[in-house]
Amino acid sequence: MSNVDQQYQDVAKQVSYNVANKVLPMDQLPETLLEAYEGLFKELLADNANAFSQAWDALPGSAQKLMTKAEFHGFYIANAWMQLSRVAQEIADSADSEEEMNNNEYDGVFGRLAEQSLKECLRKLKKARTDRSMLNSFKQVMSA
């Protein structure tokens, strides 16, 4: 899915930004964190391993009708960003020094977090089919 059209990308980006902004004021993030967010957004939007596309395609039609693929993609990216931010902060807080942080093995953490985030988002979307408050919650966090 590495070739998404501009409209898809714009929708995913807006939803992702709106959701993330509810938790982390995006306009107040330091430049380095904004760059990290942009990198994460591009990587998860590209979906080079097709994990997102396959997961979306496997969803029941009743779940797919709740929102567009681009909206759900943006929601997933924001969820992954928030999980990654939380884990990065925990790692930074637990390490006594940057050297100790660099010496610890964190390879694969991002991939596992992205996979876990996708599973969580899929579970929530499926639940939203029968839980109106969950669906309303989705719509509320996705709006500006």
Query: For position 1, what pLDDT does the model report?
Result: 47
Asked if pLDDT for residue 94 goes beyond 80, the answer is: no
Cβ neighbours of 35 (radius 10 Å): 11
Distance CA(135)–CA(137), nearest Å, equals 5
Q: What's the pLDDT score for residue 47?
A: 94
The predicted pLDDT at position 132 comes to 94
Q: Which amino acid does the sequence have at 131? A: D
Domains of the chain, with CATH numbers?
Answer: 6-142 (1.10.3440.10)
Cα 1 to Cα 7, 20, 87, 103, 123, distances in angstroms: 14, 23, 28, 35, 22
* 61/66 Cα distance (integer angstroms): 9
pTM to 2 decimal places: 0.86
